[in-house]
Amino acid sequence: MTIVLYRTILFDIVLTRQVKDTVGKFREGGFLISKIKQISERIFDKKLRRYGIGDLNTAQGRIIFSLWQHDNMPITELARRTALGKTTLTSMLDRLEQSGYIVSKVDEKDKRKTIIALSEKSRGLEKRYADVSKEMTDLFYEGLSEEQVDEFEGSLKRILGNLTKYEVEHK
């Protein structure tokens, strides 16, 4: 717990500092992304509670959302799609299964693999979750044109690609 808290505080300090780029301009993209994530998760959680889905946190919702897109998924693929570490994912899957949101089963073709599937309980939440997601998307992009949204998302994809590439190259 202490190490995780220290890492979180250290990460926030690093992201909070403005960084001068090579031409002397201050850049605070990491800080802004961090703040957007924190605030949007709080708002998203409030909206989920308002829709009666308050027992799922944001990361658990990401897992369920991935399964709505592709049910009956191996844990390794689910980890890739959600960008959650295997240890974190495993503990979340245990809690989701205990709460009745998912079912885990052994892959019939490869007994070494565990397949994660949606339960009826989580299938029944899809419409409400989609409504909350639409509200969040509308809030995110309020006041932006379609062109601005496309440009913004393109930049985010490039940043994600840079970070993903670095992570793979520096394992």
State yes or no: pLDDT of 149 exceeds 90.
yes
* pLDDT for residue 85: 84
pLDDT of residue 55: 85
Give the span between the Cα atoms of 52 and 46, in whole angstroms.
Answer: 10
Tell me how far the alpha carbon of residue 32 is from its chain's centroid: 17
DSSP three-state, residue 26: strand
Computed over every residue of the chain, the mean pLDDT equals 86
% of the chain residues with pLDDT over 70: 86
Instruction: Render pLDDT for 43-100 as a digit per residue (tens, 0 to 9).
Output: 998 998 999 888 887 788 889 999 999 999 999 999 989 888 888 899 999 999 999 9
Q: What is the pLDDT of residue 1?
A: 41
Q: Looking at residue 24, what is its pLDDT?
A: 66
110-131 tens-digit pLDDT: 888 999 999 999 998 999 988 9
Sequence-ordered list of residues with C-beta below 8 angstroms from that of 91, at least 6 positions apart, any chain:
none
Q: Is the pLDDT of residue 136 over 90?
A: yes
